[in-house]
Amino acid sequence: MTDIILFMPKCGIWDAMGVRVPGGLLSIASVPVKEGYKVVLVDSRIDINWEENLRKHLEDGAKVVCFTTMVGEQIKHMMDASKLVKSINPKVVTVLGGSWAQIYPGMCMQDHNIDLVCYGDGDYLLTDLMDYCNKKIKIRDVKGIYFRPPEGAKITKTEPRAPIENLDELPRIPWHLVNMNDYSAVGFRPDNQSVALVTSRGCQFRCGFCSIVTLYKQTWKGYSVQRIMDDLAFLEKTYGIKDFFFMDDLITGDFKRYEQLVDALHQAAKEGKDYNWSVAGIRGDHVLRLKEETLKKMVDSGCRNIDVGVESGNPRILKLIKKDTTVDVIRRANKKMSKYPIIIKYTFMGGFPTETEAEFKDTLKLRRILQEENEYATAPLFFYTPFHGTPLYPVAIEQGFKPPTSLHDWADFNYNTWYKDYPCWLNKRMIKLVENSAFLSYFSNKKLSYKYTNPLFASLFKLYYPIAKFRYDHDFYGLMLEKHAANLVAKVNEKFTLFGRFQKKKTPVVKAEPITQ
């Protein structure tokens, strides 16, 4: 009999590039799995029969259904699924967590098909909820939730859960809940299976556009190096996985730990391990602090890529967003990195509140310089999006942004098009400039293609790359019909899970052994 269903809603066009294991949901399942509860996962991003499978597990007696969501389109898919769940079994307990739920729990309670919203770390919640379902405790005794009391009474918030001090106390992620063949993370070695995992949570910095500041309140905690290496060994032994994407917010939150991790990976390589690895969150100033010896070890142990948030090439904007670094630091870090064959993905944004066209052009200039000065550099650019709860959000409001006011509207709040639907500070000319630069930035540098692990998306990338490159080289933004084509593809994907059908890896991975904790 099923006890708990984990449900992963679609994320929109992001699902086209490649689908990663649902880290948050797997994370909250580790404690209940260890306690012996039967947990199943339905991932609508890759499962075209997700409605049927959801129904099947509900009929199998599931007591709790867990949903996760980030801001934006994923909310809409979450709401559709919660509605379906309640229409099949109104008595099942539905619970919502994830970044958006943590940041805006009251707003999430607007979905009447959600009974509870989790507002802190979710790792110990589900065993308590099962105790509640089994009538061992009252709902008020479940810490870290908002719940809807019977008719008429106000939404109630229970006592917060104490933060987890030591991540190592958490049982291993129950990877056996997913079929690794359905997922990917980075495409360095096309025949190799890859997986995304986090080695830490949070970040001590304070960037104005970033939700991590609100989620983790400028704190950081990490798994020990020993624990990380054990997890890698387990993933290799059980699934044959050798390619890892460390999807941390700031992997260098503890610099010493990072150096020790590199040492451990280097030692593993010396002992014959053939790992490839890649890092999502590392700051430019931290890259500059890395010793040459550490960088060499990174290369020798299989580090293939690092992602660095630069955000802007303009000093005033960097100050406004409290990036706490400078253009000079980034350029020096880039020069340093140019000696090493590690792809470095610098991410940028445009369209910040009060940003002028000239200031945005500094960003375009810096993108070009970094890519010219380092053959391993790529520089994708995104439209700035004012998300509720981020430090810069009040400035966006001050500058004329009229935010969505209901959960339904936040669900339609698309990071790619919000500026067309909501009044804000941007004029038409600026919108076009940022939008076109952003669109081209995903396709005009071949080095970025390792991110596109979905075979269909990878093929489309190959087709479009020469055009995007030509446009980038010649600063030519006229008649960008391809943007409309991309929107159409996104719509088809949303309706028919188009890319999800191509996601499966053809090369079979080693068959999973039953999990041993």
Binding interface with ligand SF4 (CB under 6 A): 203, 205-207, 210, 212-213, 249-250, 281, 283, 309
- 27 near ligand B12 (CB under 6 A): yes
Helix residue spans in 274-401 (DSSP H)? 284-289, 292-300, 315-320, 327-337, 357-373, 393-398
Q: Where are the alpha helices (DSSP H) in 240-356?
A: 255-270, 284-289, 292-300, 315-320, 327-337
Of 384-403, binders to ligand B12 (CB under 6 A) are 385, 387
Which residue number, 94 or 334, has a Cβ lying nearer to ligand B12?
94
8 A C-beta contact, residue 235 and residue 175: yes
Q: Is 3 in the site for ligand B12 (CB under 6 A)?
A: no
Minimum CB separation of residue 217 from ligand B12 in Å reads: 13
232 is a site residue for ligand B12 (CB under 6 A): no
Is there a contact between 7 and 97 (Cβ–Cβ < 8 Å)? no
Q: Which has the closest alpha carbon to 238: 172, 303, 301, 188?
A: 172
Which of ligand SF4, ligand B12, none has residue 11 at its interface (CB below 5 to 8 Å by kind)?
ligand B12
The site partner of 28 among ligand B12, ligand SF4, none (C-beta below 5 to 8 Å per kind) is ligand B12
Residue 426 touches ligand B12, criterion: CB under 6 A: no
Establish if 43 lies at the interface with ligand B12 (CB under 6 A). no
Q: Concatenate the DSSP letters of all residues of 140-201 into one string.
A: GGSSSEEE--STTPPPEEPPPPPPPS-GGGSPPP-GGGS-GGG--S--SSTTS-EEEE-SEE
| Residue 207 interacts with, from ligand B12, ligand SF4, none (CB under 5-8 Å by kind) | ligand SF4
Stretch that binds ligand B12, among 53-61, 72-80, 263-271, 312-320 (CB under 6 A): 72-80
Contact 2, 40 (CB under 8 A): yes
Say if strands 194-197 and 243-246 run parallel, antiparallel, or are unpaired.
parallel
- 30 lines the binding site for ligand B12 (CB under 6 A): no
Q: Which amino acid is at 33?
A: V
**Of 70 and 440, which CB lies nearer to ligand B12 in the complex structure?**
70
Report in angstroms how near the CB of residue 107 gets to ligand SF4 at its nearest.
22
CB closer to ligand SF4, 147 vs 258: 258
Q: Cβ–Cβ contacts within 10 Å for residue 169, how many?
A: 10
End-to-end CA distance of the chain: 22
CB of 103 to ligand B12, least distance (A): 5
Q: Does 72 bind ligand B12 (CB under 6 A)?
A: yes
Shortest distance, position 284 Cβ to ligand B12, whole Å: 16
Distance (Å, whole) CA 97 – CA 45: 18
Q: Which residues bind ligand B12 (CB under 6 A)?
A: 11-12, 14, 20, 22-25, 27-28, 66, 68, 70-74, 95-100, 102-103, 118, 121-123, 125, 198, 210-212, 247, 249, 382, 385, 387, 415
